[in-house]
């Protein structure tokens, strides 16, 4: 009888040791699969961007220059995030068609996009990911008396994230922007100053490289 009691206790102990880790392991898996949010501040360089002046068929170019961006990413599941993305570039417009007074006119471009990110390895916070978004771009001339312009725009890109810890990470990205322009339209006009340029073309394309620091939570 005593022998049977010892065998019963031994069997119960083995079953307990097999079952006990299960809740702990489930808790770990739940923690890893919890959606991750982040806020990222970027610095970068944007380049490209050319249209055609409709009066003389001369090229109207945007100068390359530094850029600033911020992204707020909200976790949807283990591998994807909803992204609110803002970026700004200070540049200037140049063309052989412009007068010396109008050439090198300062221009500020602000992009406001809603989109998302998808991590290729299936886990937010590390490795390769792709992103994209749609929204609007406002272009503001720094010449006095000129109206700002707003255009429909979007971005697509690819990035790589390096986790520096549980709550910090580095992001490196390359993004391409497309800005839809009304064909044969005058831009940056003022009531008494006329318009800076009359352009033709349906879209303006730019490229950008970015490096950012993310706060993860």
The structure tokens listed for 92 are 């200037």
Residue range(s) defining the domain that contains residue 47 = 35-216
The 10 Å Cβ neighbour count of residue 8 is 10
Q: What is the pLDDT of residue 13?
A: 44
- pLDDT, one tens digit per residue, over 121-170 is 888 889 999 999 999 999 887 766 667 788 999 999 999 999 998 899 99
Element (H, E) at 42: strand 38-47
The pLDDT confidence band at residue 40, using thresholds 50, 70 and 90, is very high
The structure tokens listed for 207 are 């490229």
Q: Are residues 14 and 97 in the same domain?
A: no
CATH code: domain of residue 109: 2.40.160.20
The pLDDT confidence band at residue 24, using thresholds 50, 70 and 90, is very low
Q: Are residues 95 and 191 in the same domain?
A: yes
Give alpha helix (H) positions in 95-162: none
Q: What are the φ/ψ torsions at residue 115 (nearest 5 degrees)?
A: -165, -135
For residue 157, the cross-strand partners are 131, 175
For residue 84, the cross-strand partners are 72, 114
Number of structural domains in the chain: 2
| Higher-scoring residue by pLDDT: 192, 216 | 216
Task: Check: CB of residue 204 under 8 Å from CB of residue 179.
Answer: yes
Q: Which of 84, 88, 92 is nearest to 111 (CA)?
A: 88
Q: Are residues 18 and 40 in the same domain?
A: no
The 10 Å Cβ neighbour count of residue 33 is 11
Q: Quick one: CA dihedral 78, 42, 68, 199, positive or negative?
A: negative
Report strand pairing: 203-216 vs 194-200. Answer: unpaired
């Amino acid at each position: 009888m005593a022998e049977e009691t010892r065998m019963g206790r031994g069997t119960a102990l083995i079953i307990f040791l097999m079952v006990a880790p299960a809740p702990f392991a489930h808790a770990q898996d739940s923690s890893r699969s919890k959606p991750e949010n982040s806020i990222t501040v970027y610095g970068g360089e944007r380049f490209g961007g050319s249209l055609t002046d409709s009066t003389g068929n001369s090229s109207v170019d945007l100068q390359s220059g530094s850029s600033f961006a911020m992204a707020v990413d909200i976790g949807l599941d283990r591998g994807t995030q909803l992204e609110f993305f803002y970026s700004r570039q200070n540049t200037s417009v140049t063309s052989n068609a412009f007068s010396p007074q109008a050439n090198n006119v300062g221009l500020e471009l602000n992009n406001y996009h809603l989109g998302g990110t998808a991590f290729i390895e299936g886990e937010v916070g590390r490795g390769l990911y792709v992103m994209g978004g749609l929204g609007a771009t406002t272009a503001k001339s720094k010449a006095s008396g000129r109206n700002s312009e707003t255009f429909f725009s979007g971005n697509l890109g690819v990035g790589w994230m390096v986790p520096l810890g549980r709550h910090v990470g580095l992001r490196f990205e390359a993004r391409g922007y497309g800005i839809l322009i009304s064909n044969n339209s005058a831009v940056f006009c003022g009531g008494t100053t006329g318009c800076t340029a009359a352009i033709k073309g349906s879209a303006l394309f730019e490229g950008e490289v970015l490096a950012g620091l993310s706060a993860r939570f």
